[in-house]
Amino acid sequence: MTDWLQSNAQMAERMRCHRWEDTPLGPPQGWPDVLKTTVALSLASHFPQAIIWGPELVTLYNDAFLPILGNKPEALGRRFDEVWQEAWSDIGPIVRAAFEGQATYIENFPLVVERGAGPEQAYFTFCYSPIRDQFGKVVGMLDTVTETTSTVLMTQRLAVLDAIGNAVANATEPQTIMATTTRILAAHLNLSNCAYADMDEDEDGFTIRGDWARAGSPHIVGHYRLADFGRLAVANLRSGKPLVINDNLKELAPDEAATFQAIGIAATICVPLIKGGRLTALMAIHDKTPRVWASNDLVLLMEVTERSWAHIERARADAAVREGLAALAELNATLEQRVEERTTRLQQTEAALRQSQKLEAIGQLTGGVAHDFNNLLTIIRSSVDFLRMPNLSEERRQRYMTAVSETVERAAKLTSQLLAFARRQPLKPEVLEVGKQVQSLGDMLQTVTGARIQVVVELDDRPCYIRADLSQFETAIINMALNARDAMDGQGTLWLRLKCAQGMPPIRGHAGAGQAFAAISLADTGTGISPEVLEHIFEPFFTTKEVGKGTGLGLSQVFGFAKQSGGNVDVSTVVGEGTVFTLYLPEVEAEVVQEPGKEDATQLLLEKGSRRVLIVEDNLEVGRFATQILQDLGYETCWATNAEEALKMVGPDAMAFDAIFSDVVMPGISGVALVKELRQRRPDLPVVLTSGYSEELAHSGHEGFEFLSKPYSADQVARVLNRTMRGTE
């Protein structure tokens, strides 16, 4: 089996064992590169994903997708339209649109599905995205999905209870209360008939009062003895359990089943009401049309019945003692209880909705990452395949090597933008006179934005200073400026303004601050931003531009950089008039900044054996590669796979090596903790830290050590080691 399918995921093992030669895909070794890459990324994802490949709609999926399938028959390698045949009339057109190149995102889509326990009503939020090959042709579809059934049902249930509570708040007559309750309930459950049954005082029988859902004054259907409905019905009703007649039909005696059918309630839900241990009433719900019943429906029926009778009892008590203070106190207490219950349920619903929104955002993020990295990995894989060809001309070899190098740079930039949004990038903060930087950027933007856009720079009367990463600061300003340029369609005015000693206002629910902030604003004369777009502009991969015209990561980088630097970014807009983005960054005291001296050209090859470097790296592939780089640069190397091993190798005085080249994120002791301990043993020990991502570095910086971001090149390694070692001589 090929390396790309080497994963510990359950579905990876099932894919390795599957008889793919019996499917249109054939053996995995012959699968297209874009399919291999997409499968590998999906298996590594914690978000439910399915891959639908080719005109045969062959289905592949990851571990997280298993709960979506439930107890369906084995779906791996089968046609997607066969797996979801019960819902194909609803999802088939969306799948066809994806294969025609149209991505679709739908929230809380209702589907009746079968997952092993009969038909069930379910809701899903999903994104169907086309998968394209290196030529842009659609060859498959990525289904990124989360099930939102519990959230939707909870919201519907609370809406019904709220509607009933408001409708009967001032009612006092039992018939009015029951008519209103059952009418709303019938509409919500899409019932053809909804009736109510009064229990006799001696509990031997009850009277069914007819269609409350339609009639203003319901007729009496008939009087029936409880014993006629059999022991199962009586046992359920007396124990407080709901009775679904068509589910329990086989358990009823023929004469008992005939009794239900005789009064036209073959599809009946009977819900008991127990007061003080005594059965006093039940609800009979008639439905001539078969439907899918959810457990939420039964809970709702029982709760509505209980509340309706409680309200009737309160109404009767109020009528009897309407002028008494005791009745008023009881009513107030009841209302307070209702408000408290409603508030609690609303809070629960809001929490569930927030969780659903988080999952939807994760779906959009993972889909965007998968799409962009699929494209990058396709270029790299194809170039490497060509480089392996014998007798490749030097011109073509250089072309493919350049393609790999440039693609790696693009991947590193994409990762940097994502880490900026997540506020997990290692920053190199320094004190900057922000006015000088803004003026310099303004001069540069005049060239970037084009001749038809006038850039106007307005600075504060006094200098002010911020502590920020210069590269990320410049990137944030440029990202906002390019966004403004596109909004103006290449023509208009862009104001770049700096105001010092500003307070930061509350922004998107985040508290403001009264301390001094530098406020850098970019105002344009563009089209403005519509309200429905405005709430999404800082989300990763959200873009209103045409395919290929933008990644949707520019403003997310601005947001992440601002928050990680202790500030925020605000936006105000008027559709048709323009937009103003304002970046707030905390002011700091001025510092004397020494201009860095010109760095000498790095001597890539040192005298062989003259310097010994300890490499500390837990990843085997990266460790082997780093060792090869340093040896090719002329260093003697040793390699430790964890910090504990490294501490033993350096010795008590840390004199065994001339420098340490260590990863940050490792099991056990981290790289930062390791080099701090080594500096205790030897304060002048040259140290270089390296990482692709580290929350520790994102929060506390580099702790004064040299830092090299992954992915790194041999030239970068040579320069940073040369600079670090010269600094200790």
Instruction: Please check whether residue 51 is in contact with residue 34, taking contact to mean a CB–CB distance below 8 angstroms.
Output: no
Q: What is the mean pLDDT of residues 29-53?
A: 89
Coil, strand or helix at 707: strand
Instruction: Please check whether residue 263 is in contact with residue 286, taking contact to mean a CB–CB distance below 8 angstroms.
Output: no
Please give the single-letter amino acid code of residue 600: D
Neighbouring residues of 692: CB distance < 8 A, sequence distance ≥ 6: 415, 709, 710, 711
**602-646 tens-digit pLDDT:** 444 444 557 899 999 988 878 888 888 888 888 899 999 999 999
Q: What is the mean pLDDT of residues 430-450?
A: 81
Higher pLDDT, 664 or 221: 664
Closest by Cα among 413, 401, 382 to 135: 382
pLDDT value at 327 more than 60: no
pLDDT value at 547 more than 80: no
Enter the pTM of the model.
Answer: 0.41
pLDDT value at 279 more than 80: no
Instruction: Confirm whether 3-147 and 153-320 share one CATH topology.
Output: yes
Q: What is the mean pLDDT of residues 524-552?
A: 70
pLDDT category of residue 719 using cuts at 50, 70 and 90: confident
Quick one: angle between helices 434-448 and 470-487, nearest 10? 40
Please give the single-letter amino acid code of residue 145: V
Closest by Cα among 334, 8, 348 to 153: 348
The phi and psi torsions of 570 (rounded to 5 degrees) equal -115, 160
Superfamily for 153-320?
GAF domain (3.30.450.40)
CATH topology of domain 3-147: Beta-Lactamase (3.30.450)
Tokens 């319901």 -> residue: 218
Higher pLDDT, 72 or 332: 72
- Residue 174 is given by DSSP the state H
Which tokens sit at 374?
A: 């699929």
Average pLDDT taken over every residue of the chain: 76
Q: Name the residue ranges covered by the structural domains of the chain.
A: 3-147, 153-320, 387-422, 429-588, 612-726
- State residue 522's pLDDT score: 92
Residue 693 neighbours by CB distance under 10 Å: 17
Report d(CA 374, CA 38) in Å as an integer: 7
Look up the CATH architecture of domain 429-588: 2-Layer Sandwich (3.30)
Where do the DSSP E strands lie in 525-681?
568-574, 578-588, 612-616, 636-640, 659-663
Instruction: Please check whether residue 382 is in contact with residue 34, taking contact to mean a CB–CB distance below 8 angstroms.
Output: no
- State residue 615's pLDDT score: 93
* pLDDT cut 70: percent of the chain above it: 63
| Ranges 216-230, 320-334, 518-532: which has the least confidence | 320-334
Higher pLDDT, 644 or 712: 644
- Residue 60 is given by DSSP the state E
CATH of range 612-726; options 3.40.50.720, 3.20.20.140, 2.40.50.140, 3.40.50.2300:
3.40.50.2300
Q: What is the mean pLDDT of residues 152-180?
A: 73
pLDDT value at 512 more than 70: yes
Coil, strand or helix at 75: coil
pLDDT value at 129 more than 50: yes
